Amino acid sequence: MSKHYQVFSVLGLPIHLITNYPNWLLERLQQGKGTHVVTLNAEMTMQAERNTSLAKVIQAAELVIPDGAGVVLYLQLLLRQKIQRCPGIELSEKLLREVERHTDAKVFFYGGAPKVAATAAEFWLSQLPKLRIAGTHSGYHSPEEEEQLRQTLSQLQPQVIFVGLGVPRQELWIAQNRHLCPQAIWIGVGGSFDIWSGTKSRAPAWLGDNNLEWLYRLYQEPWRWRRMLALPEFAWKAVVYRLTARGAIS
């Protein structure tokens, strides 16, 4: 593995630090190396503590990126150097641009309320006219429709598949279904289709730059307060983990 690829441990979960994630993924795509991308944040880390299936899926993923401010702060304290946060939505956007520019790969959008993924696809086609969006599917459906979706994916063989079902549903779904398109890049994108379709808006850049994107989400979706208790829980666990020296570099 190149020296630009390093793996670190955040409370027992891997984080891969790579100089250029979109390029790395583009290479994997061109080599037909199936890849599961996980966008790790403090909330997901705390879910994985309670959900061993989720923890195993994250541990097996080929790429885990530092999506959240808490994870980035933890790594900075561990490594004593500046770490660049890589929000999953931004990596997805860069990857879409690279895919359009350099490949004729087919992409697929799965997840979100009815019409959201389709509207997100229309948005991207207006931005990147040569992008090949092979299909879209909403994230709310019957078991029969889901079986139909599986068959569609098998037949179409898209090479980049965005799955926006929320955590942990999307990670578990990818792990269970990635064999359908074994050479594809699969990314769990949370609510990214909501943003691309204009259903929701992202935090202003200055909040993101100051590690405060979570505050904006709380303002937009106050019902999230209970889920956000994971943030102080993560901070507390991180301190304990460091004191007991279990957070050593793997």
Select the residue interacting with ligand UDP from 112, 135, 158, 247 (CB under 6 A). Answer: 112
Select the residue interacting with ligand UDP from 131, 165, 174, 175 (CB under 6 A). Answer: 165
Q: What is the SS3 assignment for 66? A: strand
The Cα–Cα gap between 181 and 194 comes to 25
Select the residue interacting with ligand UDP from 53, 60, 102, 140 (CB under 6 A). Answer: 140
- Pairing between strand 13-18 and 5-10? antiparallel
For the chain, what is the radius of gyration of the CA atoms? Answer: 18
User: For residues 111 and 247, which CB has a smaller minimum distance to ligand UDP in the complex?
Assistant: 111
CA dihedral 114, 117, 123, 124 (to 10 degrees): -170
Residue 121 vs residues 29, 42, 149, 194: alpha-carbon distances, Å: 20, 29, 17, 11
User: For residues 35 and 197, which CB has a smaller minimum distance to ligand UDP in the complex?
Assistant: 197
Q: How far apart are the first and last CA of the chain?
A: 15
**Is 54 in contact with 48 (CB distance < 8 Å)?**
yes
User: For residues 29 and 177, which CB has a smaller minimum distance to ligand UDP in the complex?
Assistant: 177
**Residue 194 binds to ligand UDP (criterion: CB under 6 A):** yes
User: For residues 165 and 185, which CB has a smaller minimum distance to ligand UDP in the complex?
Assistant: 165
Select the residue interacting with ligand UDP from 190, 213, 214, 230 (CB under 6 A). Answer: 190
- Pairing between strand 63-66 and 35-40? parallel
Shortest Å distance, C-beta 82 to ligand UDP: 25
Shortest Å distance, C-beta 121 to ligand UDP: 14
In the numeric block, which tokens belong to residue 59? 């541990």
Alpha helices, DSSP H, located in the chain: 21-30, 42-50, 52-60, 69-79, 88-102, 116-127, 143-156, 169-177, 192-196, 205-209, 213-220, 225-228, 230-243
Total residues at the site for ligand UDP (CB under 6 A)? 13
User: For residues 214 and 241, which CB has a smaller minimum distance to ligand UDP in the complex?
Assistant: 214
**Residue 78 binds to ligand UDP (criterion: CB under 6 A):** no
**Residue 208 binds to ligand UDP (criterion: CB under 6 A):** no
Considering only the stretches 29-37, 51-59, 90-98, 191-199, report the one whose residues sit in contact with ligand UDP under the rule CB under 6 A.
Answer: 191-199
User: For residues 74 and 193, which CB has a smaller minimum distance to ligand UDP in the complex?
Assistant: 193
Shortest Å distance, C-beta 37 to ligand UDP: 13
* Nearest by Cα to 117 from 66, 64, 170, 178: 170
User: For residues 21 and 193, which CB has a smaller minimum distance to ligand UDP in the complex?
Assistant: 193
Binding residues for ligand UDP (CB under 6 A):
111-113, 139-140, 164-167, 190-191, 193-194
